Amino acid sequence: MSPTEPSRTDPLLRVAGLNKSFGDNEVLRSIDLSVETGKVLALIGPSGSGKTTVLRCLNGLEQPDAGTVKFAGGPAVSFTEKTTRREKESLRTRSAMVFQGYNLFPHKTVLQNVTEGPIQVQKRPKAEAIAEAERLLERVGLAEKRDDYPHQLSGGQQQRVGIVRALAQQPSLLLFDEPTSALDPELVGDVLTVIKELAEEGWTMVLVTHELAFAREVADTVAFMDGGVVVEQGPAQEVLRTPKQERTRSFVHRLL
Ligand code: ADP
């Protein structure tokens, strides 16, 4: 369950000058971010500010128009028309995403959902992938649900499966996209507890969240985005308690 240990000198992830447009809509403008190994970066900001798009660019679900992404121990991948498939693949395997809407396969069991990536994509031995999945399910209290289908689970249980599926890919970075915003309030706590335990264990994470109280609890650094730019970033306590920018201040004071 321990995260891969990269070099201690580099940040685990460094993003520089990331740009992304959808048609005429410039959604990300010159985004610079970095996350140190074992640390949690919370991305906060109003709806539509580009937070999800940042995660999707990191995970290869969207291709940035420009910018550089570098993971510790790997090459700096610059996005141009010439970026190769191989370079994009090399980034994709470094992170795993936990989605707002869980995104489990409805016709696969919990165990099949978790082992799909390791067996089909990573070509790991089946017995090993199953043993790992069982261990991870046990750890989030879902061992007995291994043969259930997603619709037989509560939202909170489905999201814990989503987290286990991400862990089973053995990434160096976990990406969480509003992991609790689709949940009924009484189910939020269990999922946040799992995320907090993973942070305490030393997993490196980028967490998009509206739960600022939770961000204050788990995040080491916070980046506030608005209108496709990072307005302010720094230590979590500073950005959330004494923000320097007026836009950050009014957002944080409304929600905290
Ligand atoms: P946030 O996560 O901060 O709410 P998003 O990254 O989801 O913001 O969206 C940023 C902007 O990008 C929004 O204006 C949204 O409509 C637009 N957008 C996101 N994904 C797409 C897409 N696939 N096609 C077109 N526009 C998109």
Residue nearest (by alpha carbon) to ligand 1 atom 20 = 53
User: What does the angle CA 150 – CA 155 – CA 158 come to, to the nearest 5 degrees?
Assistant: 45
ipTM confidence score:
0.98
198-243 pLDDT per residue, tens: 999 999 999 999 999 999 999 999 999 999 999 999 999 999 999 9
pLDDT at position 193 over 70: yes
Residue 57's CB: how many other CB atoms inside 10 A? 25
Residue nearest (by alpha carbon) to ligand 1 atom 5 = 50
Q: For the chain, what percent of residues have pLDDT higher than 70?
A: 96
Please give the pLDDT value at position 3: 58
Query: Does the residue 186 lie in any domain?
Result: no
Query: Does the residue 232 lie in any domain?
Result: no
The arithmetic mean of pLDDT across residues 88-98, rounded, is 92
Query: Does the residue 162 lie in any domain?
Result: yes
pLDDT at position 82 over 60: yes
Residue nearest (by alpha carbon) to ligand 1 atom 23 = 22
Q: 245 CA to middle of ligand 1, Å?
A: 24
Ligand 1 pocket member 209 (CB < 6 A): no
Ligand 1 pocket member 2 (CB < 6 A): no
Token readout for 27 is 């959604």
Determine whether 85 is exposed, middle or buried from the number of CB atoms within 10 Å of its CB (0-12, 13-18, 19+). Answer: exposed
Q: 64 CA to middle of ligand 1, Å?
A: 13
Q: What is the CA radius of gyration of the chain?
A: 18
- In angstroms, the CA 225 to CA 231 distance is 6
| Ligand 1 pocket mutation pick from 24, 25, 175 by most atoms within 8 angstroms of CB | 25
Contacts of 142 (CB under 8 A, 6+ apart): 110, 157, 160, 161, 164
Nearest alpha carbon to residue 50 among 15, 94, 19, 96 = 19
144-172 pLDDT per residue, tens: 999 999 999 999 999 999 999 999 999 99
What's the one-letter identity of residue 153?
L
Which residue range(s) make up the domain with 156? 98-170
**Average pLDDT taken over every residue of the chain:** 94
Query: Does the residue 153 lie in any domain?
Result: yes
Which atom in ligand 1 lies closest to the alpha carbon of residue 47? 4
Q: 68 CA to middle of ligand 1, Å?
A: 20
Please give the pLDDT value at position 156: 95
Query: Does the residue 175 lie in any domain?
Result: no
Query: Does the residue 156 lie in any domain?
Result: yes
Q: 15 CA to middle of ligand 1, Å?
A: 19
Which atom in ligand 1 lies closest to the alpha carbon of residue 46? 3
- pTM comes to 0.94
Number of domains in the chain: 1
Ligand 1 pocket member 49 (CB < 6 A): yes
Query: Does the residue 176 lie in any domain?
Result: no
123-146 pLDDT per residue, tens: 999 999 999 999 999 999 999 999
- In angstroms, the CA 118 to CA 165 distance is 9
The arithmetic mean of pLDDT across residues 16-22, rounded, is 97
Please give the pLDDT value at position 1: 47
Residue nearest (by alpha carbon) to ligand 1 atom 12 = 27
Query: Does the residue 201 lie in any domain?
Result: no
Q: 48 CA to middle of ligand 1, Å?
A: 6
